[in-house]
Chains A and B, each alone.
Chain A
């Protein structure tokens, strides 16, 4: 039951992250997704380690939120045309169908975690890849990359539970969020300067 709720949260968050355009809503979606990843992780590891999975996602999201709030110019708008959302939704659906078909093979490649973990991990990684492929904007790129890595971390928890590795992977998440926030801040300053002429 816990795994199912976690999977719904993780996939729902990742889908919303892909489809939404407003950065506030995107960050809320990412927080929900991180909570879902933590719930799925809880089916494999003690609550403390699972909470680390969620918290590292929330910290990364908070880092990005602070960067957007302090940016000197708003994020460039991506197309909000319905066709764009339909395309993204269909692309995600195609990826999920492919994952469903390849699940046993993916499970073997990931070291044989339980079915629900493989499903959640590969769905997150797939959605993350799609986000990465559809944007050039640093913050969205960062969120896509964090989504992909969250999927991997979920699967990796099955075979590796060393505290140092978990701490390092959380550091990687935070470092990616910081790097993308920095790139966004510099880009935002550049846009402001361009706007002023």
Chain B
């Protein structure tokens, strides 16, 4: 049994099967996607490198390497948390598709994306993952544009910005190959850092390459946006972590962490400000996603192992929020209705669960205390206080993040106010349907429950950061 081959090839085979099944048995096609994602997450958990799994009393022989055209795809321990996260997030998001109609290509493309993500995590040298990230971004075009959303500027911009990031990473790779330690030539070091900085700026949506986020959230199907923001941005963060893991000497350069911190602050600040300026719920959530990603980068910039733990926790919890938000906004936008403050006026009467889910998920993403997104944000802010990298302006950074959270919450409360603006006494007539209502209710409760009692789940999530335990400034 060859594990890289299983993670890469099986999703593609399932994609072909689900494409054929979808017209006649859409639920079966979605069910296959859910079960396969869960099975692959379980496989990643049980068949980890370095273990000898047993089946029916006998030891199973699992190969962790697959060679194609002279290059290897290797399942290394550091890929395990990423694989588990991406497949569990995939299963969770596929579950939501049971409640809403999706385009025929949605499930197959999303399955194919899981295969490509696995390939990105396995490929050696690791820099070639940049090529797979571009393939993933191009695949998302099929999700982000459909008959109901024909003019998707965001999809085209996502492809362009990710594709422009790839050359810089690959060119940096030509310099990094065979470089076991920090180069002695300062000019070479400068070239490497400039190329890596530009490449990751495109991939991680550093301002000014961030504008696809709000565009995508505004003009694409919300549930597809949830996929992109959860899986793609998750994969990019894992790419960054693996990168720092593989090229350990990069961690001896404090400027690298300072750059991450500046980018994180800029994203956090810009996200908050833009959220106040925009007046459509999709756009605002895109802005808040930017601010949230900024906070993740700030946590990583502390160069502490706890920073990686915080990033892991935030990545998982933003996936939960995006799933619920995508489902809620999909229902709010159904039948060609808009999502501006005016369009949503009084909507709570007819779609109470969709309204509350979209707002609660947004508030969780923003980091409102009492909701699932808050513990990660709180931990990131606490880390700043003890980090060695963020010494002089630590208080200022905390203030920026808090202001950004405040602006994001305020932006969402405008929508909540509009949804609740009714002239008649509240007399709910829920029109979301049984399954969507169940999933929206469950998701909203989960967001609140994790916010109230984070100790139930967060230590488990944080433990996955152990695989990146080396990711600290020496």
Contacts and interface: CB of A to CB of B under 8 A. Distances in A.
Interface of A: 108-111, 132, 136, 138, 141, 145, 148-149, 152, 155-156, 159-160, 162-165, 167-169, 171-172, 175-176, 178-180, 182-183, 186-187, 189-191, 193
B150 interface: yes
B138 A187 contact: no
A105 B194 CA distance: 13
Contacts of B408: none
A176 B161 CA distance: 12
A176 B159 contact: yes
Given A163-B70, A179-B138, A186-B147, A138 B131 contact: no
A145 B163 contact: yes
Contacts of A193: 150
A108 B191 contact: yes
B434 interface: no
A71 B141 CA distance: 17
Nearest to B152: A183
Contacts of A169: 131
8 contacts: A109-B171, A111-B174, A145-B159, A148-B164, A183-B152, A183-B155, A186-B145, A193-B150
A14 to B, nearest CB: 16
Contacts of A189: 147, 150
Nearest to A151: B167
B195 interface: yes
Interface string B119-153: 00000000010011011001101100111001111
A27 B142 CA distance: 23
A152 B167 contact: yes
Contact of B160 (A110, A141, A164, A178): A141
A191 B150 CA distance: 8
A183 B300 CA distance: 35
A179 B71 contact: no
A77 to B, nearest CB: 17
Interface in B64-98: 68-71
Contacts of B147: 186, 189-190
A156 B171 contact: yes
A108 B190 CA distance: 12
A148 B165 CA distance: 12
A136 B153 contact: yes
B171 A164 contact: no
A111 B156 contact: no
B170 interface: yes
Contact of A162 (B69, B145, B152, B194): B69
A168 B131 contact: yes
A146 to B, nearest CB: 9
A175 B116 CA distance: 13
Given A145-B159, A148-B164, A160-B174, A187 B151 contact: yes
Contacts of B134: 172, 175-176
A152 B165 CA distance: 11
A141 B153 CA distance: 11
B175 interface: yes
Contacts of B195: 109
Nearest to A178: B138
A179 B171 contact: no
A187 B150 contact: yes
B163 A149 contact: yes
Contacts of A108: 187, 191
Given A160-B174, A189-B147, A189-B150, A176 B70 contact: no
B153 A165 contact: no
Given A109-B195, A160-B174, A138 B156 contact: yes
Given A175-B138, A176-B138, A187-B150, A145 B160 contact: yes
B120 to A, nearest CB: 11
A64 B401 CA distance: 44
A136 B166 CA distance: 21
A164 B69 contact: yes
A186 B171 contact: no
